[in-house]
Amino acid sequence: MTLLFLVLISRIYYVQVVNGAFWYEKAKSRWSANEVLVGKRGTITDRDGNVFAMDTMAYNVAVNPQAIHDADLVEEVVDGLHELLGKSKEELRKLVTAKKESDGKFYLVREIRPEGLKIDKSLADKLKQFRDELSKEKEVYDVGIILTEDLKRYYPRNALASQLVGYLDREGVAMTGVEAFFDEQLKGENGFVNYEKDGKRVQLSEGDFEYKPAQDGQNIKLTIDSDIQHYVEEALNEIVKKYAPKSATAIAADPQTMEILAMANTPTYNPNTYWQNNLNSYNHAIKSLYEPGSTFKIVTLAAAVEEGVFDPNEMYKSGQITLKGVPKPIRDIKREGWGTISFLDGLKHSSNVAFVKLGYERLGADKLREYITNFGFGQKTNIQLSNELTGSIRFQYPSEVANATFGQGVTVTPIQQVAAVAAVANGGRLLQPQIVKSITDPTTKTTTEIEPKVVRQVISKETSKLVGEYLEQVVSDQVNGSGKNAYIEGYRVAGKTGTAQKVIGKDYSSTKFVVSFIGYAPVDDPKIVVYVVVDEPNDPLVGGGKVAAPAFKQIVLKSLRKMGVAPNYKTDSNTEKKEVSVVIPDLSELKVAQAKAELAAKAINYELIGNGATVLQQIPAGGSIVHPTQRVYLITEQRDKLAVPDMTGVSLRDALEITSLLGVRVITEGQGYVVSQKVEEQNGKRIVRIVLQPPAGGPGGAAAGTGSEGDAIDTEDAEQSGAEQGQGTEDTEKEGNTPE
């Protein structure tokens, strides 16, 4: 017995003391439990908080070859996973029968990639159902199909702004767009919790405990406006249907800040299923180079005006010009020209000869190159997107200098064009394009606002104003203006068309063109600049004025309406150009969300009156034909519960109808449209005093409101008049077939 105890004590000593550290670590690993705390990737939203990208629940699929072998379910599992995941049976069979090379034993876990990586809940539910049915049918507890929870990137807007937002691949790697450029800010950091447990997996109160919280990624709010993005993509889709181009790109921006309001390309793709057509994730707006053609003449014009060498009334001989050192004469798009015309008419006709005289003869190569560089060409704009190209300017020979004056031999990106024309519009300031409005850290609850960044002053405010007025006539002149198809009734629009031959090999093609239009509105206080460029439309005889200008018009008109920008002037009904108008849809009895969606789709401003869920009444009524900037009032509660809405900008007729509906007495001062209002209470009844003024530039445009106060109008007895009817069609004189 003594000997036995000596042996036992010796063994205990060896285990506990000599080899104690080893067995302690073994035991500790059995006691220890650890969990990974996943940090979420930050969201990407538009300027109004509408989500473009977010993390959502997902599942990963794996198999347990050992369990499948033990249950003899190889073929059943292969057939089921093939049907649900779409992976080939041969590859699945290799996975479910996989063995280790070291000992020949079956693996315990083999992931199914990429088909089983980050699948959505609906597919995971089908897999769970298949697993449960197979388990019940074969009376086996473990059929060897493993589902683990995970997070995946989800893009609720699908293809909207997809090239700008970018995507993550199935491995979670940021590939393009904002996702890639701001990957460090967006991606979260995983945390963990480590603790010691007993045999029942209950945490030991005296055990070791280690905890690191997960950190979610930062949230990025873009400058993009989802509505304007929709208008842009809608316009591009119409171009695709009509002209089947190789690609089409459009950018809309605020020229005062260079915040990008929309950026779109066709063809497009869905980042949720990027593997189907991820080649379409290419963002032409920053990664493609084009010869701009005559849209580049804006740069030459601005330089000439700034240097005092442009006289709009000066005459010159159009048609062609011969220059010393240039082997061939430079011709206008109309070879015989338009005779002897003014330089302003040369701008309207987009005469190459006029701009050669201005840029080559008067400014000279050095000065012209200086302005081209100062406007940002041949260099990156530093927009917050990866792989932006710089473009090039050929200025070695006299012919290259002459050609550059009208946009030939120059390669630019669309974003460079927008930044340069925005500088012309905003008073001469070249600004860095911005696509991010703010970044919010969810951990510290701090938000960093991105401020506009001025690169340099390129031209003076006076020059900016003059150039805008000249470019306005390119659009407003419905006889000679090359940009007449971009005319928007009631608004002052400046713009320029462009049609450039594509270089095929070493020569310019006579059948393949890049056509474009760039402009801004309103001229006196620009709110939006839009560039539309179309690569190889299927008709070689159409130019930028035919293909791109109508799309520009559609985008700008809807955007101005969405922004609530009032027209510059009221048109004269006696002129041939008729007021642009829209038909108000009938929204009665619709749910508020549905009514709002219909109005947003038509870019019609609206205001909700009341907190109800259903539209009880609307003003103006459904079917009314009104100006695009007319606001629609949606009544959702009975009138005794309603507050008086903001009626600024509405006509007296509509103001009377609104106040009548509310049972409110109104006192008017002046005539025209409401410019201010004040709600008072007298003898227990509400009274609203409104001041009206005629629209600027309209009949009786002198300041109103100077007359005596009008008589009180009891709106309950006021006669209601219908909306004015009649919608003219725009004069759309056909454009010539000669490319610009």
Q: Mark whether 162 is an active-site residue.
A: no
**How far is the C-alpha of 310 from the C-alpha of 359, rounded, in Å?**
10
* Peptide bond between residue 694 and the one before it cis (omega within 30 degrees of 0): no
Count of beta carbons in the 10 Å neighbourhood of residue 144: 25
Instruction: Judge whether 143 and 96 are in contact, CB under 8 Å.
Output: no
* Single-letter amino acid code for the residue at 149: E
- Rounded to 5 degrees, φ, ψ at 552 are -55, -50
Nearest to 320 by CA among 309, 311, 332: 332
Instruction: Judge whether 375 and 299 are in contact, CB under 8 Å.
Output: yes
**How far, CA to CA in Å, does 71 sit from each of 105, 133, 140, 146, 557?**
15, 14, 7, 15, 67
Continuous H helices in 443-522: 461-476
Torsion over CA: 547, 548, 549, 550 (sign): positive
Torsion over CA: 221, 227, 228, 234 (sign): positive
Nearest to 232 by CA among 262, 199, 202: 262
**How far is the C-alpha of 550 from the C-alpha of 515, rounded, in Å?**
12
DSSP class of 714: -
* Peptide bond between residue 620 and the one before it cis (omega within 30 degrees of 0): yes
Three-state SS for 366-425 is HHHHHHHHHCCCCCCCCCCCCCCCCCEECCCCHHHHHHHCCCCCEEECHHHHHHHHHHHH
Tokens representing residue 81 in the block: 């996973």
**How far is the C-alpha of 357 from the C-alpha of 123, rounded, in Å?**
67
Instruction: Judge whether 514 and 500 are in contact, CB under 8 Å.
Output: yes
Helix, strand, coil: what percent of the chain each, to 5? 35, 25, 40
Active-site residue, selected from the candidate residues 226, 294, 350, 464 = 294
DSSP class of 612: -
- Rounded to 5 degrees, φ, ψ at 301 are -60, -50
**How far, CA to CA in Å, does 149 sit from each of 120, 121, 192, 467, 732?**
10, 10, 16, 60, 59
Q: Is 461 helix (H, G, I), strand (E, B) or coil?
A: helix
Cβ neighbors of 518 (< 8 A, separation 6 or more) are: 295, 298, 417, 418, 421, 495, 496, 498, 529, 530, 531, 532, 552
Cβ neighbors of 423 (< 8 A, separation 6 or more) are: 375, 376, 429, 430, 431, 458, 459, 464
Report which secondary-structure segment, H or E, holds 284.
Answer: helix 284-287
Cβ neighbors of 252 (< 8 A, separation 6 or more) are: 228, 232, 260, 261, 262, 263, 528, 529, 530, 555, 559
In Å, the largest CA–CA distance within the chain is 129
330, 331, 332, 334: CA torsion to nearest 10: -170
**How far, CA to CA in Å, does 157 sit from each of 45, 479, 544, 692?**
10, 42, 30, 42
Tokens representing residue 310 in the block: 């442009």
- Rounded to 5 degrees, φ, ψ at 155 are -115, 95
DSSP 432-448: --B-EEEEEETTTTEEE
**How far, CA to CA in Å, does 217 sit from each of 441, 444, 479?**
7, 11, 56
Tokens representing residue 380 in the block: 């990156």
User: Catalytic site residues?
Assistant: 294
